[in-house]
Amino acid sequence: MRRRWVRAVAAAAAVWWAGPTGAAAADGGRAVDEPDVAVVVWADTGRTASWHAGESGFDRLRWLLDPVRTGTERVPEAWTEDRRPPVRFTVMWGLTGVGGWPQTRRAPGGDVAMLRQDQFFLAEDGTPWVRSDPAPDLTDDDIRWHRAPRRAYELMTDEGFFAAGGTGAEGDDGGRHEVWWAAAAVVLL
């Protein structure tokens, strides 16, 4: 009887400790290490914005930058020697609902881990590129490059996302705007 009680308490503590992140993974939702928040800094203005998973800005950036991508592509030699086009914007991808005792003095689930840094570039020929640091908290030389989907870049440009460090027009049609983005992302996957 006592063992059953101890197991029940241990199971309840595990569920409580895992919180929403663990529940999402168990339900087949996003993986535990997949980012759910994006913090953006536009290089030309220094303007910042942040979005959470499910918001249209987050979904656009996710489609464009692919923050779970791990591979790399060869870039022009000059780029590896720091002679590359200017950074358009930088995104720090984070995971909410982490931390807690004993790492911090806060209750579990209230901290954010910054998992990855992506920088967006536009080559002279108009090709969109992403420079990724998969572990921005480490001082290492693990930098990866990949081309971004041109269609995602074109759609975001048409909406004004890249104009003057702005977030682009959110559209006058309210919810239909967000549905359009989700549909476009699904079709191109």
Could you report the per-residue pLDDT of 67-118, keeping only the tens digit for each?
999 999 999 888 888 889 999 999 999 988 887 776 666 677 778 888 899 9
Task: Note the pLDDT of residue 16.
Answer: 35
Residue 160 in tokens: 């004004």
Measured CA to CA, the distance from residue 10 to residue 99 in angstroms comes to 19
Provide the angle, in degrees to the nearest 10, between the axes of the packed helices 56-65 and 175-188.
20
Sort 139 into a burial class: Cβ within 10 Å, 0-12 / 13-18 / 19+.
exposed
CB 72 within 8 A of CB 146: yes
